[in-house]
Structure 1
Amino acid sequence: MHTKDLSTDPKHPVDELPPLGRLVPLGVQHVLVMYASTIAVPLIVAAGLGLPTRDVVALVAADLLLCGIGTLLQSAGVWRIGARLPLVIGAAYNGVVPMVLIGTEYGLAVMYGSIMIAGAFMVVCAPLFGRLLRFFPPVVVGTTITLIGITLIPAGARMVFGGRPGDPGFGAPPGIALGGLTLLVVVLLYRFLPPLLAQLSILIAMVLVTFVALFTGQADFGHVGNGPIAGVPEPFHFGAPSFNVVACLSLVLIQFVLMVETAGQVLAVGQAVDRPAAPRDIAAALRADGVVSALGGVFQSFVYITFTQNIGVVSLTRVRSRWVTATAGVILVLMSVLPVFGRVVAAVPKPVLGGATLAMFATVAVIGLRMLADVRRDTPNLVIIAVSLGVGLVPMALPGAYGELPQSVRLFLDSGVAVGTVTAVLLNLLFHHLPVPRWEQAEEGSI
């Protein structure tokens, strides 16, 4: 009952509407933080499927549109769709590999039919998943959030260092300098700006360092004027979807993993904004992810998930209003129909984006560690945390570790967050939900 009263209290900071002068820049800040991850998925999928430039432009536009719609649903809410918390939605990295495999083997029509089915599955299963919340205590959720933050950090580092070792230009000093300068400016702004301006530290730092990059020849805005100013993403760009049972089942499996991630992220943001998430909030958030994923089969983009990195923005800025992320959703929709704005954001150097997102990703890990700090430090919980983190970090620590296993198995094992989360859930069931052994009962009775 207490949670219900909080969620309907218009005076709660989550429901406050900041003045327009702060609302727009705070919303832009969220867009900038998520933008690199948002456009990465269409670029990777297009490269994996060998799509021409015209199709890449269509994928990016459709992706921005659905990210905007999904963010509006999560933030503002419609009926029972959307958690009404400061959350954003973006294309899920976990869906990239199975999408490319399905598109390569069965064709784009089957790929988009599978996306529609996976989204519908999430919508239908959302209420049931919300009722399973008791199987996701802080020891499980904290482990999941910690894994998400840690496994995201390499993505920010790759933007700073220019990809992976061996890539052309990897480790170039100018890029490292830009990324380090961005991180330093963020810290200094948080330290010395007044509280209201400090909330915009990430945005201000990115703008300032982008100007530095422009004057030092590391940024180029010359292409911003190239291409159309406006254009509406078209449904069924690649034709009508079709369906294949095997392809649908593979994406449904991935969607279940995404449901676990979303549940953890909603719980984390609920803690960050001091509005604990209830099972119905989890179900509402899952419906939003599912609806947008199903629309991905119509506008022919991707599967979608509630993004994690923006939780770091909320935690660092302490701006808890869901209308800020709703504004970010509006901006994303505008960018989808006004691609000139997208070209402006795309011109921001990757090292600048990487320097800012490093702090955001690390903050997500800190949120998870803070949850784990409140967990009772007994042997079962230590085993759950240690084993889950150890198993979940293998794909990041040793890329390609599961390369000799069947592709269907690798789809799961290569996702460290998925493996770690499932491990934590199973170990929690083993230690906290199965009957206590007789010898343990006798030992407790003798104390």
Structure 2
Amino acid sequence: MVRDNSRRSEKKPSAAPASAADERHSVLRTVLFGLQHVLVMYAGVVIVPIVVGSALGLSDADIAKLVSIDLVLAGVGTLLQSLGLWKFGIRMPLVVGAASNGIIPMVLVGENHGMPTVYGSLLVGGIAWILMAPLFGMLLKLFPAVVTGTVIALIGLTLIPVGLRMIVGDDPGDPGYGRLSHIALAAFTIALIVVFRRLLKGVAGQLSILVVGAIVGWSAGIGDLSHIGEGPVIGLMGPMHFGALQFHPPSILLFLVIILVITVEASGQGVAVGQVVGKRVGPPEIARLLRVDGLMTAVSGVFSGFVYTTFGQNIGLIALTGVKSRFPVAVGGVILLALGVFHPVGEVFASFPKPVIGAAAVVTFGALVVTGVQLLSTVDFDRPSNLMIVMISLSAGLVTAYIPDFYLRMPHVVGMFLESGVATGTALAVLLNLVFHAGRRGAPDGSGPPDGGGRRGHAGEEARAD
């Protein structure tokens, strides 16, 4: 299929300046390809609101609303990214969804300061993202491979306990804590992930894992379906659902740190898709891409969404099918909007047994660790400086994951920052990299800028073109 498309584009040299991203297909093919994009990204989109809502102890009704608004905002972001509007959107086949990296600040801030502070931080962080999009090229120099790999691995390692708590529970004193049936269901879900990834490559295995796991859980009496259909069938969650926004500088700083990390990854996705569709992606295009991520994150502050980013898994679908047009992706955005407005969709996902979601979350967060390790594999560890950066940053970043009250006696302002292991580890990695590598540009040891933002796999080698 890829060869056929490439031949077709070779026969039309006059269309080359517009790139394959502007190719048009029949309505039926466009809709079918758009549905494929939704299926590939859907599990990644809905897992973030479910994990955040479950980790913060929200009701099933609130989690359902979070899923719905998440789908709506992902749909709007995907439409903007693929079609473009003014200075927003890269106008290429890229989808937008809730970033798993954003789970950490939402859970930490939500537990300590409540949801209004989470959404106040999202609003400020998103606005800063939009305003600073053209300047991120300079800031990215602070995040070479040795730093980005460390931070991404740290995020994954910090998030894994969140998924584990969804399996066994939060309170060891609870009679239901560590229930064997829940652990067995989680193990069954992970086994499904292995089998489905082995036998059902591509679209078929993405959503089926969660659905089959949920059906088995419901059959065993784990999970509650009783609330489905109780509320309105169609509608949207109103603004500031969790109360008036509150603004807390240390919390805002934590979100800004995560946004910087996400920016590195999103930039890599932009460069990678440019390589796939045969269109050069430079700083102006990356700035338009980042403005969409910032806009959707800022809007989330008002409408109770999440940190949004450009997804990379759909780039693999483009390479697999050979369909490089942005218009099927835009149709996918419309489908996401429709699913978000249709409330029973969110209610069904909110009722999924927590051990199923926890198991999927553990594997997803493990993938983040692997991504970080892949990046670090490009770093020359024969240089003691790189070894010191990773050792110290990872160790300091994992302190609160092992001992949550480690900084209990610290002054409040200092403790607020240190309680986030990701923020602590990121700050140390950036600082140590400056100490050891300041003035070295493009060092072969991996201390130079990462390849296109550091996301390997689909975005790894392509990003070198930037």
Instruction: Tell me the TM-score normalised to structure 2 length.
Output: 0.72
Task: Evaluate the alpha carbon distance shift between residue 334 and residue 183 of structure 1 in structure 2; reply closer, same or farther with a 3 A threshold.
Answer: same
Work out the CA distance in 2 between the residues paired with 1:169 and 1:72: 44
Residue by residue over 1:371-397, the C-alpha shift from the partner in whole angstroms, topping out at 9 and shown as x without a partner, is 111112211111111111111111212
Q: 1:66 to 1:419 in 2, by over 3 A?
A: same
CA distance in 2 between partners of 1:53 and 1:189 (Å): 28
Map Cα deviations across residues 168-201 of structure 1 (whole Å, 9 max, x no partner).
Answer: 52211111111111111221122234x4xx4432
User: What is the deviation of 1:361?
Assistant: 1.5
Quickly say closer, same or farther: Cα 1:99–1:170, change in 2 above 3 A. Answer: closer
Correspondence for 1:228: 232
Within the alignment, does 1:422 sit opposite 2:431 as a pair?
Answer: no
The structure 2 residue matched to 1:10, chosen from 4, 20, 40, is: 20
Percent identity at matched positions?
A: 36
Q: Output the CA distance in 1 between the equivalents of 2:399 and 2:114.
A: 28
Equivalent-residue separation in structure 2 for 1:155 and 1:327 (angstroms):
34
Secondary structure of 1:348's counterpart equals coil
3-state SS of 1:222 partner: coil
Matched, 1:262 2:295: no
2:166 matched to which residue of 1? Answer: 159
Shift of 1:120: 2.1
- Whether 1:144 aligns to 2:151 is yes
Q: Which position in structure 2 is the counterpart of 1:202?
A: 206
Assess if the C-alpha contact under 8 Å between 1:219 and 1:347 holds in 2: yes
Q: Distance in 1 between matches of 2:196 and 2:301?
A: 42
Residue 169 of structure 1 is matched in structure 2 by 176
| 2:437 paired with 1:432 | yes
- Check whether the contact 1:312–1:360 (CA below 8 A) recurs between aligned residues: no
Unaligned runs of 5+ in 1: 1-5, 437-447
1:231-279, CA deviations, whole angstroms, 9 ceiling, x for partnerless residues? 233346688x78x9xx364454234213222123325656887779865
- State the alpha-carbon separation in 1 of the partners of residues 85 and 126 from structure 2: 17
Match of 2:133 among 126, 142, 153: 126
Asked if residue 184 in structure 1 is aligned to residue 191 in structure 2, the reply is yes
Matches within 5 A, 1:352-363: 352-363=356-367
1:163 to 1:34, Cα distance in 2 relative to 1, 3 A: farther
One-letter amino acid of the counterpart of residue 343, structure 1: E
Q: Work out the CA distance in 2 between the residues paired with 1:260 and 1:228.
A: 38
Contact 1:312 1:361 in 2 (8 A): no
What letter matches 1:397 in structure 2? Y
Residue aligning to 1:306: 309
Query: Which residues of 2 match residues 13-162 of structure 1 at below 5 A?
Result: 20-21=31-32, 23-24=34-35, 27-28=38-39, 30-41=41-52, 62-74=69-81, 77-82=84-89, 85-89=94-98, 93-95=104-106, 98=109, 116-162=123-169
Give the aligned length.
Answer: 411
1:391 aligns with 2:396: yes
How many Å apart are 1:217 and its aligned residue?
2.4
**Cα root mean square deviation, aligned:** 4.2
Amino acid at match of 1:264: V
1:322-345 alpha-carbon deviations (Å, 9 max, x no partner) = 888766654553344221111111
Deviation at 1:219, TM superposition (A): 3.9
Q: 1:288 to 1:68 in 2, by over 3 A?
A: same
- 1:349 is aligned to 353
Letter in 1 for 2:169: G
1:431 Cα deviation from its structure 2 partner: 1.0
Q: Which runs of 5+ in 2 are unaligned?
A: 1-15, 23-27, 442-466
1:400 aligns with 2:410: no
Q: TM-score, normalised by structure 1?
A: 0.75
SS at match of 1:88: strand
Within 1, Cα distance between the matches of 2:106 and 2:57? 13
Q: How does 1:312-331 map to 2 (within 5 A)?
A: 329-331=333-335
Letter in 2 for 1:89: A
